[in-house]
Copies of this chain bind each other. A is one copy, B any other.
Amino acid sequence: MKKLEEKIQTIGEVRDGNVLKVDSFLNHQVDPELMDDMAVAFMEYFKDKKVTKIVTIETSGIAPSLFLAKRLGVPMVFMKKGVSTTLCKDALCTEVFSFTKNRTYSLYADASFFNEDDHVLLIDDFLANGEACVGALRLLEKTKVTIEGIGIVIEKSFQPGRSRLEEMGHDICSLARIQAFEDGQVVFQKADQ
């Protein structure tokens, strides 16, 4: 997605350790116009899918997911991180290792928001090693929903996340695919949309 790539090039910040900071439009300050444009791009890619629910992971997946849910006229469910006392009843739970933060966290969702007739698009902000997505899919597997596809805002294509998801048979749409960081610059490969 051209507009997203331009935004990453102009105001994203490449940090040591292959970290891309996009706090100025995605992860802390949010550009709502861009979020809605991303929703349109995801819709176009997944236009042949029947979707009844958007699922994402808090916090940074919420903004990219919300306009997509609105445009599709379906609810959005965000999985929660950490331990919540109000979520224990009927909660689905799994453990996820974050390479970025170098620690394990719990991923939760309330089972009552899913049923076997649901057709889900899973949306997340970043795909790198794939830990978060694979964790979310592990939760969703317990709910008997159908996974129609996975929408990613920024994919680090030099890391194994995409291969892992493809080997599981998933259809992936990444709006920006980063091939490499070279001298503090982002090198893109062709995005899915």
Q: Are A30 and B75 in contact (CB under 8 A)?
A: yes
A76 on the interface (CB 8 Å rule)?
A: yes
State the copy count for this chain. 2
A153 on the interface (CB 8 Å rule)?
A: no
One of A40-48, A57-65, A175-183 contacting the partner: A57-65
A33 on the interface (CB 8 Å rule)?
A: yes
Q: Are A69 and B30 in contact (CB under 8 A)?
A: yes
Contacts of A25 on B, CB cut-off 8 Å? 75
| A145 to B25 Cα, complex, angstroms | 19
Q: Are B110 and A69 in contact (CB under 8 A)?
A: no
Q: Are B21 and A70 in contact (CB under 8 A)?
A: no
* In the complex with contacts A58-B58, A62-B62, A66-B35, A76-B29 CB distance below 8 A: yes
A184 on the interface (CB 8 Å rule)?
A: no
A164 on the interface (CB 8 Å rule)?
A: no
Contacts of A15 on B, CB cut-off 8 Å? 86
Which residues, 1 to 44 on A, are CB-close (under 8 Å) to B?
15, 19, 21, 23-25, 28-33, 35-36
Which residues, 45 to 88 on A, are CB-close (under 8 Å) to B?
58-59, 62-63, 66-67, 69-70, 73, 75-78, 80, 85-87
